[in-house]
Structures are given as structure tokens and as C-alpha cells.
A and B are shown apart, each in its own frame.
Chain A
Amino acid sequence: MLTFIVRRLGFVVLMVLLSSILIFWATQVLPGDIATMMLGRFASEEARQNLREELGLNKPVVTQYVTWLGDFVQGDWGYSISTRSEIRPLVMERLRNSAMLAGVAFAIFVPVGILLGLLAALRRNSWVDQTISVGSLAFIGLPEFVSGVVLISIFSIKLGWLPSQSAIEPSSGFVKAFPYLILPAITVALTTLAYVVRMTRSSTVDVLQTDYVRTANLKGLPPRRVLFTHVLRNSLLPTITVIAISVGWLIGGLIVTESVFSYPGLGRLVLFGVQRRDIPLIQATVLLIVVIYGIANLLADILYAVLNPRIRYT
């Protein structure tokens, strides 16, 4: 098991490294000169040259890359060009906000998705199943900017229950932020919810038809026990994978959703950085997202292996 974890961890580190090269290279080939951007177009060539010297921009690309990565690992993420402040506290605050949003979204789509999926599987081919299946299919194709706007127009504008914009003070606490989180969280959750529903349904339907479920029934176990001890253990395995992969979609969804609701999260920060061509900010935020993604996948793999004894730890 330990070997398995170490190997997986190795893969994640490798993935992060490769991504960091890609990110660095991409921001290098992006048009625009950092010194010009920082000092403005009318700064003297000498001033620009001094700044380049100071930032290490004259050194070979490889050295620049190594320095950048080394600093990142040590927690020195540099200064943002556009806000002229240290990047790390800024990113951390936004990360916390995004995590709150993602957390609420998770708390919605995981239980609701699994429950709906199970319900559909257990009532297979009934109207309940049909409604759930068709509904989830519809939501899979729905982009966040559409579902977000629809939700706003219903719950904020028509019914007036919830705020339509979530441009809260970036440092607000969870309790204060909560009412502003509900609509964006639902928006983010919808697409993933649909995937979770479909995966849960299909794997549960498969498991219900296996011989071992027949064995469990013919042992005389009450239906509820059959479901909890024998069915769920196996049928939720693929769902766990989908949930783990969904972290990736979630980050994509967050960027869009946070802009629709003007919510001060990491996604909006990335967008902000891109609009301002704030290269250090882009580099730091994107690499952070890659790290988060890698860790989520690692955790999913480990969880899957723990639940599924058939996986070989090699």
C-alpha cells in the first residue's frame, strides 16, 4: 500500500513539474514585456533595463525558471504587477473564498447526486427513473453562464429570495458570506451533479444484477441491509472517481461562475490576472490550481484503492 501511495505521489509530482514548465513557457511566449508593463510605456530604457536586472529577466530562461519554481516552493510567490502587492496573501484569501464556494457546491452535489442516482437505479424504468435520467442529461449540456443567469432571474429577480450578485468583501467570514454563496454554488454544482447522478445510476444498476447481490438476497438479508452492505460498497466506487475528476471541472466552472456572480474567488483572480497580463500572478495562480488538482486526484486514487481490494498496489 505504501509503495502504491509513493508511486502515485511520484506521478503527481511529475505532473506538477511538467505543468510548471508548460505554464512558464506559455507566459514567456505571451506578448508584452514585463518591465514595460510595470513601469509604463514612457519609462526610460535605462529604468527598464535596471528593473529587468533586478527581476532577473536578463538571465537565461532555464535559470529564470528554476529560480521561479524554487521561490514558489518556498512560499515566495513574488509581486503582482497590477495590484503592486505581494501575491501570496492575495491568492490565499481568494483561495479560501473559492474553497468556501466549492465546499458548498460539494455539499450539494455529492449527497444529492448519489441519492438521485440511487433512487433512479432502485426504481429502474419507472417514471421516477425516467424523470431523473432525462433531467440529468439536460443539465450535463448546460453551461454555467446560462444556468447562472437562469437561477438569478428566478430566485433573485422574480422571487427576490437571494442576492443576485455576490461581490462580497473578499475577507468576509463564512457565515456572513453564506447567503451569497448559495446561488453560485448551485450553479457550479449542477453540471457535476448530473454526472454523479448518471454514474451512480448506471453502476448501481450493474451491481444490482450481479450474482453476489443475488447471494445476499438469498441469504435472507433484509433489502435495506443488502443495499447498504453489499450494493453501495461496490456501486459507489466509480462515483468516487467521477467526484475526484469533477474537481477539475469544478475549477473550470468556478472561473465562469465567479465572474457571473462577481464573487471574489481564485477563478476571478486568474481572469483578472489574464486581463491585466499580470504574468507573476497568472503563473502563481495557475500552478496552484494544478497542485490542487493533483492532490485531489491522489486522494481519489487512494480512497479508491482502500475501498477496492482488487486494485493491486504495484
Chain B
Amino acid sequence: MDSPSVTPDIAPGSAVLGASSAGPAALPVLEVEGLCIEYETERGVLQAVRNVSLSVNRHESFGLVGESGSGKSTLAMGAIRYLAANGRVTAGSVRLNGVELLGLSDKELRSLWGASIGVVYQSPLGALNPSIQIGRQLAEVARLHLGMDRGAARQRVGEMLAKVAMPDPEAVMKRYPHQLSGGMLQRCVIAMALMTNPALLIMDEPTTALDVTTQAVVLDLVADLKREFDSAILYITHDLGVITKICERVGVMYAGEFMEQASLDALFHRPRHPYTLDLLGCVPRFETSPQKRSLVTIPGSIPRLDELPHGCIFSPRCGFVREACRAARPPLLEVEPDHRAACIRWEVVPPPAEYLREATESLDVVAPTAGKDVVLVEVDGSKTHFKGPARGLIPGRRTRRWIRAVDGVSLTVEEGQTLGIVGESGSGKTTLARAIIGLTPATDGDIRLRGRSLERSTGRRKRSVLKEIQMVFQNPDASLNPTRSVGDAIVRPLVLLGDLSREQARKRAEELLLSVSLPATYFDRLPNELSGGEKQRVAIARAFAADPELILCDEPISSLDVSVQGALMNLLMKLQAERRTSYVFISHDLSAVQHLSDTIAVVYLGLVMEIGHAVDVLTPPFHPYTEALLSAVPLADPDIKQTPVRLGGTVPSAMDVPSGCRFHPRCPRFLGDICVDQEPPWREGDAGHHIYCHIPLEELACLQAETLVLT
């Protein structure tokens, strides 16, 4: 990262529209005008993107935000003419540095792909060929577009890997994709996309598949590279927090059209479209008040492309709707310089802070559930160790290592309360939940329900015990049988566990559907007729069917859109208030966890690092790991400046747990030998707040006093 300009030897040849051949900086690199994209499907021709325009300047990143189905990826891929066989661009114009892409032959187009256009997308593991060494895959681009020979290309790859802050580039080049972590792979893909210093870089949810901590590192990297390279970036994401870290301008898409385009600042402070306002409202904020409130949600769902509403396409869900809105589709109007909104009532859209305050006040405060301090579940020194792969040939002398997925966890869940468990992937949080429910039996320690020890595996637990603990999984498809109706899915546990007759069960199931805000008519539907959010509601209804005392929620909302996430969290809170059910809520998303939880446990490599009331965990003193997790969450508020505390690398393998404090190889507050040699003590703060660290709490509090601002 030495020179800010690009080395001249990679200036692309004449056939290629390199950024260096761009005109004055004021000229947009990418201009899309009136683009329309259609898909031919069984349901007929669907107009996925309708009459959209945008422009991105050199050195600028344009954020394309929208929920799934908004057409944001289709727009980006259609603009560079990479569409599935059934998709086609039907109208409009796309100019890259003045050259019309829509008129190019396939051959001309391929000379631009990879040279003037770089693409990075969601799954870095999928994006690289599993059976070719990484170095060769990257070198391919240098040889093809920069005309380099093998040696020069290799050297260039090494340089590029160094630029994306890859440790030990030489070694990485010889690796195969499955041998690297997600964060490392995404750096490789970014290095590959930037190899030719392309005029346009498209990034499609590049950090969505990564852990928050890794996401933070990759976002920092992209922000750095943006300054170093000349590329205009088209950044696609559903996450408004990520947008604030990367983009200068933002376009909000909804069902194939732009609702609003503005600078980052204008969009967050003066949104001129109700949809933008609602999206901003849905994002869970860090609150340090002990009261739990519902989240603002957007009623309804994104319309199907073949059933678009008349007039304004957002009108069925809009809180500002008037008769006039349904008459004609509002055009994207310039409401102030460089700020466009597709709403005829844009003048009445309030500033988000004010709107949020009013909206939140009108929402119910979820009553704190009575019966506090009655312990429901106690996990006492629970361990789950798996057999690792064996090494060696001779049967008697093979060495076997143990995977210490959960390595001695103690915690309690109180009646009617929520315990949130956070940690990166590989921290053992899911294994712990599976040990509690008995799906993956613990190998040591004790788990008690209302004081009685539980058998380790489900097979040996009594029916009456089984019914008390239920689980909701991340992917509802995995837990719903596609050939059985929704009703069947809910009725089965009722009949199996609850000794009900079929008619009684059906009645109960219909009540349950209503309680998760689904119409009773859904009883006979098949899972694939439901949206992701609806399926998760069914999964929740099923978990509640046996009227359990504890529900384990394993990332139940991570795969859903923001607007749906809010509604599901509200639902979980409502049901808890009504039924006094306890939750264990597992997530890598701290903002969701803090919103729902009364107590929070932060786990790392099979051990609890910090545990306490939500408020205590989220305010200093923090465990250094909690501090890093918090600082990694991209807050959807450009005014908050977060202090970057970054973690290098990834969670080590549970087969080689580091000595002393197991967090020491990555700890930003590492003290020295004491952390390597000695296990840290449990330091106790107020009201059951515990931190597992060698640094005394007062000192931590001092160090961290000014690091984080939470509002």
C-alpha cells in the first residue's frame, strides 16, 4: 500500500477501457439509463427491473440497497450483460466510460469482463474453482488481460495479495480454496477483481457470508482500496449498516424500481421516501435501557412481480398513502440537488429520528415478565468433545485428537427470560444448544431443568421432559418436510407429545397459526407456498405447540430480510410475554441479541468469556472479545464514529485450543506472558456480571471508557 497511484505497467491496453483512460473525474464511469430487464418464467414474462437509471463516478461507491427480490443484483448483472439464459435486457442504455455495452458483441464484451469490470460476490468459497490453486486462478486474469507471462503474472498476484493485506501471499498462492477461511478467500477474490484496476467494480453482498468480525476487517479493506484504486464501485447489500461504512451515494430499490437516490448523508438524515424511512426504522438499535420495546416493522411484504399494485408500488404498505398515490406511478423526482425520490408526498416524510421516537412511543413496551429469578435451566460445566480425525497407520498406535466444541460452560436461564448467546462461527454456541436439547449429547457436566438432571441424549429423555424443550432452527426449510402441509407439521408434535385427538389437535394448530399472525387457512398449505418469514413463523408455531418451558432459537432470523426480522422479533417477544416461555437466543448478530435478551453470554472457542445482564454486557467494562464484537457491528448511523477494534485471523480450530487465555492469539488488549501461561480468573462485577480476563474490571472500564458510543 505504498503508492496511492496505480503502477503504470498495469495500465490496460487499448482494447480495454481502463480507469486510467477515463476523462475528467466529473464524467461518470458508469451510466445506466432507462434499463429494463425481463425474465421468461413459467409464470410468464416477469419485468424484474423497470426503467432504472443511475450513474457512478470515478472513485465513488454507489450503494444499491434493497430486500431480497428488489432486483438489485439483476440490475447490476444485467448492466454488464451477464444474465441467466432466460433473462434479457429489453430497453435502455448502459455506458462504461462512454462505451455503450448493450451494443457490443459477445467477444468485445468478454474483453471488458475481468479487465474493465471486476466482480466480487457473496460466497467466496463458491466463487473460486475448488480444484485449481489460488495463485493460478488469480494469475489467469493477469495473463489474459495484462498480457503477462507466467513469471510476471505470478509476481503481480503476489503484489495484489499483499495489497489486500494477505498474510504470507506466497503460501496462499499454492493453496486450494477449501484450505482457506472465508475472510481470506474474499480477499483473494477482491485481489482478483482489482488485478487490472478495473473502471468498474461490482460487489454483490461481499461480506454477508462472513462473521461480523471478519466483515469489519473486509469492510476496512474495501474502504482502503477504494482510495488506492481508481475503480467506481457498485456495492450491493441489504444492510444499511454496511452502506454507511463504504458508500457515498445510495439507491434504494423496491420490487425492481428505485424509490430513492441520494447521498449517504441525505438518505440517513432527510429520507424523502416512506420506504427508506421504514427501512431505517427496522434496524435494531443498541439501547441501554432495560425496557424491551417492539421494533418498528413494515406491514405486508414485497409484491410479486406479476401482481404489482396500481400506481405507487409501495402504496399497500405505505403509512403516508393517499388516494392520489394509487392513480399513477410516481416518477423519480429531483427533490433537491442530487437527491431523487419516487413519492408524490415526499414533503411530508419526517426526519427519521423524530419518526422513530414517535413510532417507538406508540409501540408497546413489552412488560417485564414476572417470576424473575426462578431458575429454569442450569448448565453446569457442560462439555461436548468430538473425536477428531485419527492419524497414523498402525491401529494400536494411531493418535486421535479431540475437538473441544464446548469446553466447560456454566450458565442459567431464568423463567420467562431470554438468554442471548453470541460468538463467531466456531465458538460452539450451536453445539451448546444442541446439548441442552439433547440432539448432540454433552460428554461431561450436568444440565438441569428445574433442578432435575437431564439425560444427555434425547433418546433417553422422558416424553414429559422432551416436550418442555423445543428448538427453532436457522433454516426453516431444513425443519419443515416439503411434502407435508403446514398443519401437519404443527399437529405432529401435538399428537406425539400432547395426547390430543386429531380434531382437538387441528383446533390447537389453527389457534397457534393465529398466534403467530398467520391466517388459519394456512393449515392446508405446503411449505413451498410460503415465504421465508412465513415458514419461520410456522416453525415458531410448531415449537410452541407442546407449550414448552424453553425454546432454543438458533439464528432464527439471520436468513431473513430486515423488515421481516423485526416482525419476527416482535412476535417472539409477544409470545414470551403471553406464555412466560424462556428463550435461549443464539446469534452472531449482537444487535438482534441485545434487543431480545435479558442476559447475554459471549462465547469464544467453547467457553463463556463474559456473562451478565444485557445492559452490563453492553456497557464498559467489556471483555476484550465483547469489545471487538461490538466494534465490528456496522451501525446504521453515519453519525456514530465507532472506534475500530479489529480481530485478526479467525477462531482457531477447537482441536488446538491456545494455552492460558484461549483468546490470547487474537486479543487486542493482550498483556503478555500471563495471558499465554495462565488461565484468567473470573472477575465479578455488579449483579452477576462476570468477565473472564486477567485485566481487572476497573482498568478495563478505564481503557474502554471512550472507545464505544452507544446511543
Assess whether B71 is interfacial by the CB under 8 Å rule.
no
- Please tell me if the beta carbons of A3 and B393 are within 8 angstroms of each other in the complex: yes
0 or 1 for each of A1-32: is its CB under 8 Å from B? (1 = yes) = 00100110000000000000000000000000
Q: How many A-B residue pairs have CB under 8 A?
A: 76
Q: Please report the C-alpha to C-alpha distance between residue A255 and residue B216 in the assembled complex, in whole angstroms.
A: 65
> Which A residues are CB-close (under 8 A) to B141?
219-220
Among A46-54, A172-180, A210-218, the stretch that binds chain B is: A210-218
Report if A221-B144 is in contact (Cβ < 8 Å); known contacts: A309-B130, A310-B178. yes
Residue in A218, A234, A310 whose CB lies within 8 Å of B82: A218
> Which A residues are CB-close (under 8 A) to B145?
220
Residue in B80, B117, B121, B140 whose CB lies within 8 Å of A211: B121
- Please tell me if the beta carbons of A309 and B178 are within 8 angstroms of each other in the complex: yes
Assess whether B322 is interfacial by the CB under 8 Å rule.
no
Among B60-68, B107-115, B219-227, B583-591, the stretch that binds chain A is: B107-115
- Please tell me if the beta carbons of A309 and B176 are within 8 angstroms of each other in the complex: yes
Residue in A212, A219, A312 whose CB lies within 8 Å of B130: A212
Assess whether A40 is interfacial by the CB under 8 Å rule.
no
- Please tell me if the beta carbons of A312 and B389 are within 8 angstroms of each other in the complex: yes
Report if A233-B178 is in contact (Cβ < 8 Å); known contacts: A218-B117, A220-B111, A220-B114. no
Report if A218-B119 is in contact (Cβ < 8 Å); known contacts: A230-B129, A308-B131. yes
Assess whether A275 is interfacial by the CB under 8 Å rule.
no
Minimum distance in angstroms from A305 CB to a CB of chain B: 11
Assess whether B295 is interfacial by the CB under 8 Å rule.
no
Q: Please report the C-alpha to C-alpha distance between residue A211 and residue B130 in the assembled complex, in whole angstroms.
A: 11
Report if A217-B113 is in contact (Cβ < 8 Å); known contacts: A212-B127, A309-B176. yes
> Which B residues are CB-close (under 8 A) to A222?
110
> Which A residues are CB-close (under 8 A) to B391?
314
> Which B residues are CB-close (under 8 A) to A309?
130-131, 176, 178
Assess whether A307 is interfacial by the CB under 8 Å rule.
yes
Q: Please report the C-alpha to C-alpha distance between residue A310 and residue B121 in the assembled complex, in whole angstroms.
A: 22
Q: Please report the C-alpha to C-alpha distance between residue A67 and residue B114 in the assembled complex, in whole angstroms.
A: 68
Assess whether B648 is interfacial by the CB under 8 Å rule.
no
> Which A residues are CB-close (under 8 A) to B176?
309-310
Report if A233-B132 is in contact (Cβ < 8 Å); known contacts: A218-B113, A219-B113, A222-B110. yes
> Which B residues are CB-close (under 8 A) to A215?
119, 127-129, 189, 192
- Please tell me if the beta carbons of B114 and A219 are within 8 angstroms of each other in the complex: yes
Minimum distance in angstroms from B138 CB to a CB of chain A: 10
Q: Please report the C-alpha to C-alpha distance between residue A307 and residue B132 in the assembled complex, in whole angstroms.
A: 10
Quick one: which of B123, B131, B192 has the most chain A CB within 10 A? B131
Question: Closest residue to A124 on the B side, CB-wise?
Answer: B85
Minimum distance in angstroms from A195 CB to a CB of chain B: 23
Minimum distance in angstroms from B19 CB to a CB of chain A: 16
- Please tell me if the beta carbons of B393 and A6 are within 8 angstroms of each other in the complex: yes
- Please tell me if the beta carbons of B117 and A234 are within 8 angstroms of each other in the complex: no
Q: Please report the C-alpha to C-alpha distance between residue A229 and residue B129 in the assembled complex, in whole angstroms.
A: 10
Q: Please report the C-alpha to C-alpha distance between residue A304 and residue B98 in the assembled complex, in whole angstroms.
A: 49
> Which B residues are CB-close (under 8 A) to A314?
389-391
Assess whether B126 is interfacial by the CB under 8 Å rule.
yes
Chain A residues 169-215 with CB under 8 Å of chain B are 210-212, 214-215
> Which A residues are CB-close (under 8 A) to B192?
215, 219
Minimum distance in angstroms from A9 CB to a CB of chain B: 11
Residue in B121, B131, B132, B144 whose CB lies within 8 Å of A219: B144
Q: Please report the C-alpha to C-alpha distance between residue A231 and residue B260 in the assembled complex, in whole angstroms.
A: 41
Q: Is the interface of B mostly helix, strand, loop or mixed?
A: mixed
> Which B residues are CB-close (under 8 A) to A221?
110, 114, 140, 144
Chain B residues 148-207 with CB under 8 Å of chain A are 176, 178, 189, 192
> Which B residues are CB-close (under 8 A) to A308?
130-131
- Please tell me if the beta carbons of B131 and A220 are within 8 angstroms of each other in the complex: no
Minimum distance in angstroms from B500 CB to a CB of chain A: 45
Residue in A7, A210, A216, A218 whose CB lies within 8 Å of B126: A210
Minimum distance in angstroms from A200 CB to a CB of chain B: 17
Q: Is the interface of A mostly helix, strand, loop or mixed?
A: helix
Q: Please report the C-alpha to C-alpha distance between residue A59 and residue B114 in the assembled complex, in whole angstroms.
A: 77
- Please tell me if the beta carbons of A220 and B115 are within 8 angstroms of each other in the complex: yes
Q: Please report the C-alpha to C-alpha distance between residue A3 and residue B140 in the assembled complex, in whole angstroms.
A: 33
Q: Please report the C-alpha to C-alpha distance between residue A212 and residue B132 in the assembled complex, in whole angstroms.
A: 11
Residue in B119, B128, B178, B389 whose CB lies within 8 Å of A212: B128
Minimum distance in angstroms from B397 CB to a CB of chain A: 13
Q: Please report the C-alpha to C-alpha distance between residue A221 and residue B192 in the assembled complex, in whole angstroms.
A: 14
Residue in A6, A211, A307, A312 whose CB lies within 8 Å of B127: A211
0 or 1 for each of A78-97: is its CB under 8 Å from B? (1 = yes) = 00000000000000000000
Chain A residues 287-309 with CB under 8 Å of chain B are 307-309
Report if A220-B132 is in contact (Cβ < 8 Å); known contacts: A7-B393, A212-B127, A310-B176. no
- Please tell me if the beta carbons of A219 and B140 are within 8 angstroms of each other in the complex: yes
Question: Closest residue to B126 on the A side, CB-wise?
Answer: A211
> Which A residues are CB-close (under 8 A) to B126?
210-212
0 or 1 for each of A233-268: is its CB under 8 Å from B? (1 = yes) = 110000000000000000000000000000000000
Question: Closest residue to A10 on the B side, CB-wise?
Answer: B393
Q: Please report the C-alpha to C-alpha distance between residue A214 and residue B121 in the assembled complex, in whole angstroms.
A: 10
Q: Please report the C-alpha to C-alpha distance between residue A212 and residue B137 in the assembled complex, in whole angstroms.
A: 10
- Please tell me if the beta carbons of B389 and A310 are within 8 angstroms of each other in the complex: no
Q: Please report the C-alpha to C-alpha distance between residue A219 and residue B142 in the assembled complex, in whole angstroms.
A: 10
> Which B residues are CB-close (under 8 A) to A3?
393
> Which B residues are CB-close (under 8 A) to A7?
393
Question: Closest residue to B390 on the A side, CB-wise?
Answer: A314
Report if A229-B114 is in contact (Cβ < 8 Å); known contacts: A215-B127, A312-B389, A314-B389. no
Minimum distance in angstroms from B139 CB to a CB of chain A: 11
Q: Please report the C-alpha to C-alpha distance between residue A215 and residue B129 in the assembled complex, in whole angstroms.
A: 9
- Please tell me if the beta carbons of B82 and A220 are within 8 angstroms of each other in the complex: no
Minimum distance in angstroms from B78 CB to a CB of chain A: 14
Q: Please report the C-alpha to C-alpha distance between residue A71 and residue B9 in the assembled complex, in whole angstroms.
A: 71
0 or 1 for each of B369-411: is its CB under 8 Å from A? (1 = yes) = 0000000000000000000011101000000000000000000
Q: Please report the C-alpha to C-alpha distance between residue A125 and residue B514 in the assembled complex, in whole angstroms.
A: 45
- Please tell me if the beta carbons of B131 and A217 are within 8 angstroms of each other in the complex: no
Report if A220-B144 is in contact (Cβ < 8 Å); known contacts: A211-B123, A212-B129, A309-B178. yes
Q: Please report the C-alpha to C-alpha distance between residue A222 and residue B110 in the assembled complex, in whole angstroms.
A: 7
> Which B residues are CB-close (under 8 A) to A218?
80, 82, 113-114, 117, 119
Report if A217-B82 is in contact (Cβ < 8 Å); known contacts: A211-B123, A212-B127. yes
Question: Closest residue to B109 on the A side, CB-wise?
Answer: A220
0 or 1 for each of B334-350: is its CB under 8 Å from A? (1 = yes) = 00000000000000000
0 or 1 for each of B91-128: is its CB under 8 Å from A? (1 = yes) = 00000000000000000001111110101010100111
Residue in A6, A217, A233 whose CB lies within 8 Å of B129: A233
Question: Closest residue to B106 on the A side, CB-wise?
Answer: A223
> Which B residues are CB-close (under 8 A) to A216?
129
> Which B residues are CB-close (under 8 A) to A310?
130-131, 176, 178
Q: Please report the C-alpha to C-alpha distance between residue A307 and residue B121 in the assembled complex, in whole angstroms.
A: 26
- Please tell me if the beta carbons of B129 and A234 are within 8 angstroms of each other in the complex: yes
Q: Please report the C-alpha to C-alpha distance between residue A226 and residue B230 in the assembled complex, in whole angstroms.
A: 28
Chain B residues 440-465 with CB under 8 Å of chain A are none
Q: Please report the C-alpha to C-alpha distance between residue A220 and residue B390 in the assembled complex, in whole angstroms.
A: 44
Minimum distance in angstroms from B406 CB to a CB of chain A: 24
List the 4 shortest-distance A-B pairs measured between CB atoms, nearest first: A220-B114, A211-B126, A219-B114, A220-B113
Known contacts A217-B113, A218-B114, A220-B115; 20 further A-B pairs (Cβ under 8 A): A210-B126, A211-B123, A211-B127, A212-B127, A212-B130, A215-B129, A219-B113, A219-B114, A219-B140, A220-B110, A220-B112, A220-B141, A221-B114, A229-B140, A230-B132, A233-B129, A307-B131, A309-B176, A312-B389, A314-B390
23 residue pairs A–B, Cβ–Cβ below 8 Å: A3-B393, A210-B126, A211-B126, A212-B127, A212-B130, A214-B82, A215-B119, A215-B128, A216-B129, A218-B82, A218-B114, A219-B114, A220-B114, A221-B114, A229-B140, A230-B129, A309-B131, A309-B176, A310-B130, A310-B131, A310-B176, A310-B178, A314-B390
**Which residues of B are interface residues toward A (Cβ below 8 A)?**
80, 82, 110-115, 117, 119, 121, 123, 126-132, 140-141, 144-145, 176, 178, 189, 192, 389-391, 393
